[in-house]
Every structure is written in C-alpha cells, then in structure tokens.
Amino acid sequence: MSHTSMDPTKMGIGRSIAVLTSGGDAQGMNAAVRATVRVGIYTGAKVYFVHEGYQGLVDGGDNIKLATWESVSMMLQLGGTVIGSARCMDFRAREGRMKAALNLVKLGITNLCVIGGDGSLTGANQFRKEWATLLVDLVKSGKITDDEARKSSHLNIVGMVGSIDNDFCGTDMTIGTDSALHRIIEVVDAITTTAQSHQRTFILEVMGRHCGYLALVTALACGADWVFIPEMPPDEGWEGHLCRRLADQRARGSRLNVIIVAEGAMDRGGNPISSEDIKKLVEKNLGFDTRTTVLGHVQRGGTPSAFDRILVGISLCLCARMGVEAVMALLEATPETPACVVSLSGNQAVRLPLMECVQVTKDVTTAMAEKRWEDAIKLRGKSFENNWNTYKMLAHINPPDTKSNINVAIVNIGAPCAGMNAAVRSAVRIGIIQGHNMLAVHDGFEGLAQGKIEPITWTGVSGWTGKGGSELGTKRVLPSEYIEEISLTIAKFNIHSLVIIGGFEAYMGGLELVQGRDKYEELCIPMVVIPATVSNNVPGSDFSIGADTALNTITSTCDRIKQSAAGTKRRVFIIETAGGYCGYLATMAGLAAGADAAYIYEDKFGIRDLEMNVEHLVQKMKTDVKRGLILRNENCNANYTTDFIFALYSEEGKGIFDCRKNVLGHMQQGGTPTPFDRNFGTKMGSKAVLWITEKLKEVYRHGRIFANTPDSACVLGMKKRALTFQPLAELKEQTDFEHRIPKTSWWLKLRPIMKILAKYNISLDTSEHAHMEHVIKKRVSMPAPLMKKASPATKHEEEE
C-alpha cells in the first residue's frame, strides 16, 4: 500500500499494540511510551501497557492494561519508566514465552513495541520468530482456538533502544544517554571548583562496562587530561605517559587534573583498570592530592533532558519522533517484514533490521576480545570514531616544534550563547597543534576594526568548555561600516584566515566580508562561519551551538511551571520564548514539554486558530488533565502579541480556567553549556581549523595567500547526517534576509507530531516515513588499518 493513500487516523482500527520497557531503566523511556500510546490511539488502535517488562508479559493479568490518553499525561518530565522494568528469567525459557503468547492472543495483541537494550530486543526477535510454533502448541493444548490463532497469525516487533551506555550499533544516540551525560557533567562541574581550590587530581568513574561512549564524550565535554575506554586500551607503558602528562599540565599552570574512567576500562592485556588503581599510581609517582568519585546509579536518575524527550540537538525527536516512527513501523509491517529498530542518524529517524544492529554490536565485543582495537572503534560508528579522533588531537598530541607561520584569527559575533567558548578552545588548540599562531579578536567585528587582537595560547583557553557566554566578548555590529579598518587590521596583524563564531550576524558579516573582496585584497583569505546562536536560524546548518542549552532551559522552566498547576488545576500558562522570527525553540520546547500549542512565524495562524486552541483547552479541562501550556515565539505575529493571547485566553476561559504568562527573556542565553553543546562546539571548532589548514594549502600561490573563490568562505554546518562546508555565496538564495531565517527548515515537519500528541484531530503526512536501511554493509567487512589522524573533508562533506 502506498503511503500517500493512507488515512493515518484509520491505520490502526481493529488492531492492538502493546508497549513495554525492559532491562535497565533510562531517562526518556517515559517520553517514548507516551508518544507510542498517543500516536497509537491517534491511528485508531488499542494500546496496552505491559507493566514490569517481559515478566508482566509472562504473568499477564493486571500487568497488561489498556492505556488511555490521560494515563500518559505528566510522564514527559519523569525519569526511569513509570510502567516498570524487570529482569525476567521466565521469558528466556520457551514455556515462559508460550505464556506470554497466550496473554497477547487473548487480548488480540499482534504488535509489540519494546523499549530496552540489545538483550531485550534480541529476546523480542526470538519471540517473533517462534510465534507461529507457539500458536501451534497453544492450539494443541486447547488454550486457544483455531480462530484465535488465525486472527493472531503473525507478531510484529519494533524496538526503540533505551540504554544510557549508548552501546547499541546502528543509532547515533540511545534513549537516556544525553540525560546521563547531563548528570555526569553536573558532577564534573561541581568537582572542578573544589579541585581547583586545592590543586587536586580527580578521577571520575562513569558507567560503560562494554562501551566507552559516556566516558569519551564526558572527556571531550570537560577537557579531561585522560580517558580510559574499553574499546581502545592505553598503549604499553601508559603509566609513565599518564604521569608525564599530568605533571606537564601542572607545569603549564593548571591547578587541577581530571581523569575519566569507564567502568569497563582495561589494559592491552585485558586486565581491569579501576579508578583506585589510577589513584594509587598518581599518588605514588607524583605525590598529587588525588580523589576518586564513582558515580554509579546517579547517572540513571533525574529528569530526562530535552534531547532525550525529542532528541534535539543533534539533536532528534528520539522519543516523540521515534515513538511516532515506531507505531508506523508496526502498523505497516507484513509477515515478511523483519523485526526493526527505530534509530537516529543525524536528525533523521531510520528503520534498521534489528538483528543486523545486534550483530554489529556483538562484533564490537568480538573485536575487543581479539584485541582489534581500531576495528572496535570503527564498528561503534562514525560519530564515535570522530569523537575519539577529536579527543586524541586535543589531549594527546603535543604542539609541533616547527611553526607554519600562519596566523589564524578567531572572533565571536552577535549575541553570546553557551558553547561558544568550547568552539574557541577547540579551534585554538587544534590550530596550535597544526603549528599555527592563534589570535583572539575581542568584541566582534568592531574589535577587529580597532585592532583588539592578541595571541591566545594553549593554557589561555583552559577550562573554557564549561563556561557559558563569550570569553572573547561579542557585539552585533556588522563589518560593512568598518570594512576599510578591518582590511587594514588584517594587513597589520598579517592575518591569513578567519574563524567567525556566531549567529545570523556572523553569517551576514561573512557575506559582507566576501563582498568586500572586490575592493580590498586583504579580505581574500579563507573564512569559515561556525553557527552559534540560541535561535538556530543560520542558513546552512540544521543545528547551531547554544540551541540545545537554551532548549533545556525552556523545557526545565516549563516543567516547573506545569508542576505549579498540579495543586491549583484549571490553569493555562502562556510562555514567550526567544528566537527572533525563528520558531525552532518554541516548536522543540513544545514537543519536549508537552505543549498544547506553539505559535511561530513560519506556521501562519489567525483568529480562527486561536479560537480552536481555546476550545481545545475548554474540552481538556473536562478531563483529568486540568492544565494547559501554550508557547509563543517572540516575533510570531506583530498583532497577536503575548499580551493579546493572554487577554484572549483569560476572557474566553472565564469560569473554566485562569491564565498566567511568563516571558523567559535572556535567561535562555545564559547558563553553562549542556554536554551536547560542549561536544558539538568542540567538534565544530576542530573541523573548522582543519578545513582552513587544507584550504590555505590550496590558495597559497607565488609566496602569498590569495583566496577569492566562493568555496574559500564557507558555513560549517550539520546537514542531516553530515558536517558540511557550504559557500556563503551559495546560501544567499536559501535565506530570508528580512526575517533572518532560512527559507526552509527541517524541523517544521515535526509540528504535526506536536499537535497529534496534544490530541488535535489533524492529518499526518505519512509519505515520508523512513524506509528500512541496512547497517552491516556500512560498518563490517573492513581491514584493520592504523588509526589515521583526523582530517577535514576533502570537498564539502564528511559523514558525522
């Protein structure tokens, strides 16, 4: 059946779906359960909770309950899994699986959505493969009739991976991973202050018995001195190397050392390396005051991040969006369709054959057992490999003895945002590693015109990953009014290339500098713009540094606001978000916080829409969910202001609900960067300088640098599944300059999902659902070459 002929509200009529969570709990599981239940109900299907995982499936009875729309209300912000999870030995035996099959057949359930790790998903696939023979045995024993067996002739399985370790191959991020990183980074930031006070070395042990993702990303996000991961044990003689590195950092003026250890860390001989072992080594060889912290199950707890609710940032919609994709995958399945897992690739939800993913995950374990460490890194996927290469460059390569005599200037433009400093730190250190002289430009283009430039060193950016705002200082001034002064400054300081970090002003400034090349030859140098703005409105990139931090700020604020209505009830909150004319924050926060509506400029609305939204809330107040949340982008409409909408809702809701309003303002720009923004900024800064290094080789002619081609001035952005360099000149046609936004935005396709999850009866376009892809061809059957030094994309693109 073609997607275009489907009526999504009738796809599930006469069908039943069961959803269960299994194995270790992970923050964000509840968001996935909520999305599965509500989208299932939207399609006309019956949806059942299976409490206590596979054990509930085996035991049946009250463990399998019909879910309602209201039963998943207020689940989004809860950690863990409210329907419970349990390790189940009974399901591992055929007798247990037969009991589970009997329970499902009696309720007419032939679609099973499993949220768990690879063990839970493997068990689901085995259940599916045995289904026909289980029914035969149940008919023979007289427990079900031939008619019941015929109606339940095949079982459809879809999986969503819930695991804080991010140890499942085939997906960039599993449910719970980002939230676990939030918990870890909160601890690291707290420990850093006390470590600096006492000049201590801190060793932090994080979860990851078989996967070092949490440890690796934590090391990138906090600028750790060393990381131990099971996929790549340290070389022989690592003890001496570690001690020399720690001593060298202290000699450079650092007051602390941070070492991150995955719980499954080991040496090349397969012997465990514990945090206590490292502590004894450091104390014995260096005499440093050393402390260890083992985080344990605190990493599983707490409120899920916005990333885990909708997976933004690189964010995406892992829970809400993957819940939608999971239901569609179930309802479109045929007996020939293999069990699939809904995975994340860039900002795309994709379906992959479950057992292919499980096989590649097992291949990683095999590679580690056979000491094929490079293969283990590659099998984890491109994102893991890129993280590892970036970490190696920033932490383990010493600056070269010979200099390149290249001067690279870095400038921050526009409003400050969290993650800017991480990008600057990475760019500075990668530049120094390449042999360049790195220059810091203070106060934006105005500072560039006035010569506010100074050399910036390796230690000059120490500790910057965790700092919010802009340490370099930033202004919104564009270069056009200073173009001559800027050209003179570039000549005076002999600047050979420019890294511009900022929002729409950075993009506009880059365009103006390119336009000035015709008149000023000094501007004929390679330039790269790194998008960094809470508004996420820079053309050429799906994500901007800083947007994830702002989104988490909005989401946590909305959580608190909604909670405040738990006692008073019958209350509607109207929240104004930032973003200029870009509705990204309002839309994604609406998904993450469970909003009833989100008004944005890109999705036009009028008085009829406002009336419909008010009536929707009036009807909602008749249910058990007696609260409402409305988000409004600050520039969504010149006439329908926040005050107008507040007054309208207040008047129309008299006697039914009362209203409150909040304007979040500049708090969305502040705070320490999230793990995503730290990691994203680090990789973007690194990639930008490596690209510049290669570009300088291309444009060096006759003893001088001359860059005037379009591809010598680019925006570095994340597009779907890749980091891409796109010429500024080519992006002009994709830009709405009046409203400072791209003409098209990928996230607008998510808005119908938000409305469906808020129980609006709308049509959902089912024509663009993910088709089944494959993972094995991409990640298996490869030689085991020596790990190469990371290099920039040779043309414009590199898979992330």
pLDDT digits (tens, 9 = 90+) for 303-355: 777 767 764 333 333 334 444 555 666 666 666 677 788 777 777 777 788 88
Contacting residues for 609 by C-beta, under 8 A, at least 6 apart: none
What are the distances in angstroms from CA 243 to CA 197, 211, 257, 265, 276? Answer: 21, 25, 11, 18, 15
Distance CA 509, CA 438 (A): 21
Residue 534 assigned to a binding site: yes
Residue 3 three-state SS = helix
Distance CA 233, CA 199 (A): 28
Give yes or no for a contact between 426 and 223, defined as CB atoms under 8 angstroms apart: no
Residue 561 assigned to a binding site: no
- Residue (of 773, 748, 778, 686) closest to 723 by Cα position: 686
* Six-digit token string for 613: 């939204």
Q: Which of 165, 178, 375, 677 is catalytic?
A: 165
Residue tagged 């190397």 (tokens):
241
Q: Whole-model pTM? A: 0.89
What are the distances in angstroms from CA 398 to CA 222, 245, 253, 389, 406? Answer: 19, 10, 16, 14, 18
Residue 118 assigned to a binding site: yes
Residue tagged 């929002």 (tokens):
503
Give yes or no for a contact between 348 and 719, defined as CB atoms under 8 angstroms apart: no
* Six-digit token string for 194: 């006390």
Residue 588 three-state SS = helix
What are the distances in angstroms from CA 247 to CA 79, 250, 284? Answer: 41, 5, 13
User: Which phi and psi angles does 520 have, rounded to 5°?
Assistant: -120, 110
Residue 313 assigned to a binding site: no
Give yes or no for a contact between 36 and 111, defined as CB atoms under 8 angstroms apart: no
Contacting residues for 217 by C-beta, under 8 A, at least 6 apart: 181, 387, 675, 679
User: Which phi and psi angles does 400 have, rounded to 5°?
Assistant: -70, 155
* Six-digit token string for 467: 């700092």
Residue 655 assigned to a binding site: no
Residue 263 assigned to a binding site: yes
How far separated are the first and last CA of the chain, in Å rounded?
Answer: 34
Residue 255 assigned to a binding site: no
- If residue 742 lies in a helix (H) or strand (E), which one and from where to where? strand 741-742
Distance CA 581, CA 535 (A): 9
pLDDT of residue 240: 93
Distance CA 538, CA 528 (A): 13
Give yes or no for a contact between 638 and 623, defined as CB atoms under 8 angstroms apart: no
- DSSP bridge partners of 714: 528, 727
- DSSP bridge partners of 632: 576, 599
- Residue (of 283, 212, 226) closest to 257 by Cα position: 226
Distance CA 666, CA 652 (A): 31
User: Which phi and psi angles does 232 have, rounded to 5°?
Assistant: -145, 80
Residue 788 three-state SS = coil
Give yes or no for a contact between 23 and 53, defined as CB atoms under 8 angstroms apart: yes
Q: Collect the ranges in the chain with pLDDT lower than 70.
A: 1-6, 307, 310-336, 396-397, 566-568, 764-800
Residue 298 assigned to a binding site: yes
What sign does the dihedral 469-471-477-478 (CA atoms) show? negative
Residue 55 assigned to a binding site: no
Instruction: Give the total residue count for the chain.
Output: 800
What structural domains does the chain harbor? 16-172+304-363 (3.40.50.450), 177-300 (3.40.50.460), 398-545+673-748 (3.40.50.450), 552-669 (3.40.50.460)
Distance CA 476, CA 617 (A): 40
Residue tagged 């944005």 (tokens):
600
pLDDT of residue 324: 58
Cite the DSSP H helix spans in 700-785.
728-731, 751-757, 776-779
Residue 209 assigned to a binding site: yes
What is the chain's percent helix, strand, coil content, to nearest 5?
Answer: 45, 20, 35
Residue 229 assigned to a binding site: no
Cite the DSSP H helix spans in 477-537.
483-492, 504-515
Residue 163 assigned to a binding site: yes
- Residue (of 19, 35, 42) closest to 76 by Cα position: 35
Residue 351 assigned to a binding site: no
- Residue (of 757, 775, 2) closest to 332 by Cα position: 2
Decide if 165 is catalytic.
yes
Residue 15 assigned to a binding site: no
Residue 669 assigned to a binding site: yes
